[in-house]
Amino acid sequence: MKTRTLLRTGIAGSAVAALCCATPVLVIVLGAVGLSAWIGWLDYVLMPALMIFVGIALYALRRQWIEGACCEPETELGPDWKKQASNE
């Protein structure tokens, strides 16, 4: 999976889980559709979901940092500048 996709998934999932944990949005929605009996189980689902999505976002950030650190920056001479310097 691409790093950018993982990062977007982690951030979006964290935002949705945090929104549902911190505000009564999910309680209102579940009550409106007649599923208010599920409200007691929200803590067992939302907190682990929040932790999983934060973990995905942190993993993607770490992976992005490693991908950026492993590549050599190109110089004005191009990627073969070492060969050109040794031939002169």
- For residue range 10-24, what is the model confidence (pLDDT) as tens digits? 999 999 888 887 778
- For residue range 39-86, what is the model confidence (pLDDT) as tens digits? 888 878 888 999 999 999 999 999 888 887 776 555 555 555 555 555
pTM: 0.66
User: Rounded to an integer, what distance in angstroms lies between the CA atom of residue 18 and that of residue 26?
Assistant: 11
Rg (CA), the chain: 23
Would you give the distance in Å from CA 50 to the centre of its chain?
Answer: 11
